Chains A and B, each alone.
Chain A
Amino acid sequence: MTIFWLVIVSILVLPILLFLAVAFSPKLLDQGPEWFTFNSFKAAADPYFLRSIWHSFVMGVVSSIFATAIALVVAWIVLRTNSAARKAWNLAIFALLLAPSYLIALGWERIFERAGVLNIFGIDLPFVRDLLFGPVGIAMILTFKGIPFAYLVISNAMRGLGEEFEQAVRVHGGSRIAAFKMMSTLLLPALWSGIAIVFAESISDFGVASQLSSPGRYSVATFTLYRSVMSIPVSFPLCAAISIILLGLIVLALFAQSRALRGRSFRVLSGRTRPITRQKLSPLGSVASNASIYVLLILTLGVPVFGAISASMIQGLGTVISNYQINFDNYIRVIKSPLLRSPLLFSAEAALMTATVAVILAAISSRMLVSTKNGPGKKFLDFFLLAAVGLPGIVFAIGYIFAYNLPLAQRYGFHLYGTVALLVLAYIATALPSTTRSLVGNMNQFQESLSEACRVHGSNGIKTWLTVVLPLISRPLLAAWCLTYCGTLLELPVSQILFPPGHAPLAVGIDHALGNYDFGGGTAMEVFAIISALIVVAVAFALYERLAPVGWKQLGRAHQ
């Protein structure tokens, strides 16, 4: 356990705390003359920074409200009606969850940009382009990216909400509207959670900012932060102050959520909750619901996928040449050119390591979090993992640069700055909070008596883990591994800031290719990356189905 705590403190706690502390006390970490000051906050109050923070706030509010409203309608169609489109949605939701925001933005960009895919086909829509490269475009992509998060929260709540609550309103004299009001009230916790989660995700997002934000047009806080840390000399106290303000906004959203729900109980799930019967839609309702789901899928996934695939097959996209050719040359170039190929291979290796270590640490962490023993270690871990979930990736990455570049770190032999090791450690640290949270639910379902039964029937702690705990959570562990692998493979903010010289990760490789106007090569790398991620996930699950003992798989089937 000592090793576990050492790892948690050094990869998660220290870098963040040291970085945030420097906003108040530059001298403490050799970043200025003052022991305690608010000067860095005064500097952050410059109109340029304040405007970008305000923009982030507005984007967060708009995208969270739109994403939650859309998710509510989708959840109702998928869970409460017999709409045929619900199966397509259930398949697409995971793709949408896995797709990084910068890839969605890139897809849209490739289609509508000047000399983009539409231009090549003779279509020019300058007003759409203007909208896309500004607040409307940013809010739209953030909304798309937020929908699956809000959907998961709302659909979970809706599943537990039996029909009897609405029926009770009707049999006691309430109208349809009154019944709908009752249902909405009962779903309030989920709606608030949806808004808070999407708000936090949008404020922290760097992917959309990196593609659609720019100082001249509409700059958001994460983009400003990135520019500040890339400028020379870097003012870490200023970066820390902006990060703290950003975190403050996230905390504010969570606080508003808890205030709105305080003192109200919404426990609706019980053993008596009966499964709902799906509402049979009229032909018109059926068409309308199917159309709305498919339009949503086209906008969120279809357009970016079309943008990426079409762009990857067009030779000379983004240039002013006139004889564009459609072929697979860009893919062949990615395979042959080390410059295009090596980021994908490097990220695949890093993702493999990150997913494996993060899942091991997350399994231990999640078990600790659901333990019935309420020790200080559990509270400490819970607090930091929760705080880290809301921490923007870009802040995390800057914290890493700062902490591991300190003279103190060098003095104690941590020569990690600018190394692959630091990048992988940062990947693990950023993946750990969400991977842990994804396992907590499964660990919570695990009856404590199952491991107690092992102990009283002759197994020690390790054997209990190996023979009972791991088999029972093997499938969720595999899913968590796949999610972490895909997330790391396509990760942007940490990669962008911490990549060591000569080892560009995939997101950086794509960015470099696009920066060099090699749109075809960059998008071909995107497509290769997504295909390779799908292959890894498919192979992992195929191996599980083939190699796992029958009882483990039986368990999965029993839960279906």
Chain B
Amino acid sequence: MNKGHLVKIEKARKNYGSLAALDGLSLTIEPGQFMVLLGPSGSGKSTLIRSLAGIEKIDSGSIFLDKQEVNRGPINVAPEKRNLAMVFQDYALWPHLTAFENVEYALQRRKLSKDISRKRVETALERVGLSTKGKNYPHELSGGEQQRVALARAIVADPALLLFDEPLSNLDADLRERLRIEISTLTREIGATALYITHDQSEAFALADKIGVINHGKLEQVDLPEEIYERPTNRFVANFTGIAGTFTGKVRRVSKTSCIVSLGEDQLKVRHTVGLEVGQSVDVLIRPAATSFKKESENKISSVITDVAYRGRGYEHAIDTKYGSLTGVFDNVSHPRGGRISVSIDPDRCIAFPTESK
């Protein structure tokens, strides 16, 4: 198995005019680790992945691949000398080459004999389920097949670093899920270090060994997926990794990890990860998984059902409460629109952050 690169980015800065795409960002990815960078559009994730690939050059800071400094000041090792491969958002398949030739192209740098080269291309195409499509040109393939060719091209030369630039964003939901599994298994099979960027939190949680949440060119939090979800260090991370809604209230009591928040007539027990004081105004960010229509719960608020959506394994409800609305409240049975019902809030899955001044 291939040993992946140790990737180190130190205080990377990159400006486009007055806009800071990378704002002193530092990140380490261990060899063989699958890191997902999660962030909204314009957060700097594309700039970071392109700088790692060598397509962009950072203005200051440095980038190391293993012990080699590949970018700092005038030093900028050419992309072709970084021993990496990349899956592009638009696939970037060369339209004048067949699927086989596209994959073979990435193998040329290994300078293998023709026979071995052919065998490896065939194996790569087989691994992505396209052994019969080698002679097809890109325009003769479906979107999913094109993305598979791009994936085969990326893995065929056993690169030490695999970069994924939102590779599934142009595919439909079903195909996205199937290809996500292929990316996850193939990358781990070849043992390369991987950096995957996306704005889709479900994709990030499903793929990552570790997740970095990026915003305005800075990393907000880098941690295990579970930690990111359970213990977001700030409001942005919590918000971007999925919430059902937000209530605003005042802190009544505080303990080490939890607090009681008064919302008006009701009180909620919630968690907190930053220091809070009694009387402080807070926003309570509620995860979808925190909500249910369980009867026996203590943390309850009355609500009105405003919408119901059938999701196959059950129903997701949108509700209105006196303190705001919540979406994605799941139940195995459907509750009628306009009906009154109490919603239970799991204290472990809602987090209070100080209210931001507007």
Whether A471 sits at the interface, judged by CB under 8 Å, is yes
Shortest Cβ gap from B241 to chain A (Å): 29
Q: With contacts A472-B95, A549-B96 known, is A456 near B54, CB below 8 A?
A: yes
Per the 8 Å Cβ criterion, residues 41-65 of B in contact with A are 50, 53-55
Shortest Cβ gap from B19 to chain A (Å): 14
Q: Determine which of A454, A455, A551 lies in contact with B96 in the assembled complex, contact meaning CB atoms within 8 Å.
A: A551
Shortest Cβ gap from B83 to chain A (Å): 9
Whether B247 sits at the interface, judged by CB under 8 Å, is no
Q: Is the CB of B90 within 8 A of A459?
A: no
Q: With contacts A452-B53, A452-B92, A455-B55 known, is A460 near B80, CB below 8 A?
A: yes
CA distance A555 to B137 in the complex (A): 9
Q: Determine which of B84, B85, B96, B108 lies in contact with A471 in the assembled complex, contact meaning CB atoms within 8 Å.
A: B96
B56 to A, closest residue via Cβ: A452
User: Which secondary structure characterizes the binding site on chain B?
Assistant: loop
A556 to B, closest residue via Cβ: B96
Whether A2 sits at the interface, judged by CB under 8 Å, is no
CA distance A450 to B153 in the complex (A): 13
Q: How many residues of B contact A (CB 8 A)?
A: 31
Q: Which of B78, B80, B85, B157 has the most CB of A within 10 A?
A: B80
B-chain residues with CB within 8 Å of residue A460 when the two chains form the complex:
78, 80
Whether A156 sits at the interface, judged by CB under 8 Å, is no
Q: With contacts A456-B86, A458-B157 known, is A554 near B79, CB below 8 A?
A: no
B139 to A, closest residue via Cβ: A558
Q: With contacts A447-B92, A452-B53, A456-B54 known, is A551 near B85, CB below 8 A?
A: no
Q: Which of A452, A454, A460, A467 has the most CB of B within 10 A?
A: A452
Q: Is the CB of B88 within 8 A of A457?
A: no
A552 to B, closest residue via Cβ: B96
Q: With contacts A457-B157, A460-B80 known, is A452 near B95, CB below 8 A?
A: no
A472 to B, closest residue via Cβ: B96
Per the 8 Å Cβ criterion, residues 70-105 of A in contact with B are none
Q: Is the CB of A452 within 8 A of B88?
A: yes
Whether A468 sits at the interface, judged by CB under 8 Å, is yes
Q: Determine which of B86, B96, B98 lies in contact with A453 in the assembled complex, contact meaning CB atoms within 8 Å.
A: B86
Q: How large is the interface on A (under 10, 10 to 19, 20 to 34, 35 or more residues)?
A: 20 to 34
B-chain residues with CB within 8 Å of residue A452 when the two chains form the complex:
50, 53, 55, 79, 86, 88, 92
CA distance A455 to B95 in the complex (A): 16
CA distance A472 to B56 in the complex (A): 23
Whether A449 sits at the interface, judged by CB under 8 Å, is yes
B-chain residues with CB within 8 Å of residue A449 when the two chains form the complex:
88-90, 92
Q: Which of B50, B80, B84, B96 has the most CB of A within 10 A?
A: B96
Shortest Cβ gap from B161 to chain A (Å): 10
A558 to B, closest residue via Cβ: B139
A-chain residues with CB within 8 Å of residue B97 when the two chains form the complex:
551
CA distance A450 to B85 in the complex (A): 13
A-chain residues with CB within 8 Å of residue B106 when the two chains form the complex:
457-458
CB-defined A-B contacts under 8 Å, sample of 17: A452-B79, A453-B86, A453-B94, A455-B55, A455-B78, A455-B80, A456-B85, A456-B86, A457-B85, A457-B105, A467-B105, A472-B96, A551-B97, A551-B98, A554-B137, A558-B95, A558-B139
Shortest Cβ-Cβ A-B pairs, 10 listed: A458-B109, A551-B96, A455-B79, A449-B92, A457-B106, A453-B92, A456-B86, A456-B79, A471-B96, A458-B80
Please give the residue numbers on chain B whose beta carbons come within 8 Å of chain A beta carbons, in ascending order: 50, 53-55, 78-80, 82, 84-86, 88-90, 92-98, 101, 105-106, 108-109, 137, 139, 153, 157, 163
Please give the residue numbers on chain A whose beta carbons come within 8 Å of chain B beta carbons, in ascending order: 447, 449-450, 452-460, 467-468, 471-472, 549, 551-552, 554-555, 558
